[in-house]
């Protein structure tokens, strides 16, 4: 439910404002200042998917450091990272991530994650084929499936039973109620078929996506009265997505980039600016 439902004219005005912000974002090529940027250089879909997943799990902290940490993982893999990873030995992976860190994560965390991804790409060819999403799958079901299957690979295929704290930060347990921002971000990149998202996955409908809720979008949503909730958790992400579906029911996460980057620039939209209700 909406925190305080906007009336029809304000919904229309908000759509006009967000459409303009979204178009400005695309025209200005501002995506180059986004965590997705390192994945955009690849031509092959398998490489794009792999790079985007790495971009998503590291999408926390200052964007300059985020991109630096992403490149530090991708650069040793060369121009075809999926091919490199499929053929890499444990020693190759260990050498590639030696000395790597990103805030809460260490080289040991990334070593384990790349081993999981190596198994997935060797055995299935893509994360999509590994997860097997469908048009009937909800985002919550897909994220729970991803969490369970990645841990199955970690425990049963790799044989690593004791999870590292940093590795757990890569993939938060959705059953704990968090917003799962970074995995929702990855799904949006994979599913939405309009620039700047990649649209690689064809068997999951974009209307089922959940907004990747971070501090910037939460502040925008509170200012716009799209939620009254006092914590940026999963329920809040669902509530904001439901509100955005009033603007575009087939594509409620369309405005993620615009809302987020407006927030980063300190431009918070107020209900009062949308006209009389």
Quote the percentage of the chain above a pLDDT of 90. 70
Residue 26: other Cβ atoms inside 10 A: 15
Mean pLDDT of the chain: 91
How far is it, in rounded angstroms, from Cα 202 to Cα 194?
13
How far is it, in rounded angstroms, from Cα 148 to Cα 162?
15
**Is the pLDDT at 135 greater than 80, yes or no?**
yes
Q: What's the pLDDT score for residue 174? A: 94
Q: What's the pLDDT score for residue 3? A: 44
Query: What pTM was computed for the model?
Result: 0.92
Residue pLDDT, tens place only, 214-237:
998 999 989 888 898 999 999 999
pLDDT, average across residues 50-77: 97
**Is the pLDDT at 98 greater than 90, yes or no?**
yes
For residue 101, give the 3-state DSSP assignment.
strand
Q: What's the pLDDT score for residue 252? A: 94
Of 60-74, 143-157, 245-259, least confident by mean pLDDT is 245-259
277 — pLDDT class (breaks 50, 70, 90): very low
For residue 148, give the 3-state DSSP assignment.
helix
* Burial 34-51, CB ≥16 within 10 A → b, else e: bbbbbbbebeeebbbbbb
Looking at the DSSP bridge assignments, the partners of residue 233 are 178
Residue pLDDT, tens place only, 172-213:
999 999 999 999 999 999 999 988 899 999 999 999 999 999
């Amino acid at each position: 439910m909406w925190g305080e439902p906007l009336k029809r004219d304000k919904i229309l005005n908000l759509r006009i404002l967000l459409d303009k912000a979204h178009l400005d974002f695309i025209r200005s090529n501002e995506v180059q200042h986004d965590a997705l940027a390192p994945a955009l250089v690849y031509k092959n879909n398998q490489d794009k998917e792999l790079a985007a997943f790495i971009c998503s799990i590291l999408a926390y902290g200052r964007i300059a450091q985020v991109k630096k940490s992403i490149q530090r993982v991708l650069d040793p893999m060369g121009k075809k990272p999926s091919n490199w990873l499929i053929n890499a030995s444990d020693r190759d992976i260990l050498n590639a991530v030696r000395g790597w860190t990103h805030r809460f994560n260490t080289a040991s965390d990334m070593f384990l994650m790349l081993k999981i991804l190596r198994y997935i790409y060797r055995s299935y060819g893509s994360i999509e084929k590994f997860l097997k999403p469908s048009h009937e799958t909800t985002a919550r079901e897909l994220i729970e499936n991803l969490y369970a299957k990645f841990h199955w690979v970690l425990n049963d295929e790799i044989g690593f039973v004791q999870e590292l704290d940093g590795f757990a930060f890569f993939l938060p347990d959705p059953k704990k109620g968090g917003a799962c921002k970074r995995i929702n971000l990855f799904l949006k990149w994979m599913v939405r078929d309009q620039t700047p998202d990649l649209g690689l996955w064809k068997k999951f409908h974009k209307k089922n996506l959940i907004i990747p809720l971070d501090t910037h979008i939460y502040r925008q949503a509170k200012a716009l009265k799209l939620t009254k909730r006092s914590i940026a958790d999963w329920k809040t992400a669902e509530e904001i997505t439901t509100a955005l579906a009033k603007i575009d029911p087939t594509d409620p996460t369309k405005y993620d980039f615009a809302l987020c980057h407006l927030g980063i620039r300190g431009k918070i939209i107020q209900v009062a600016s949308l006209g009389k209700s």
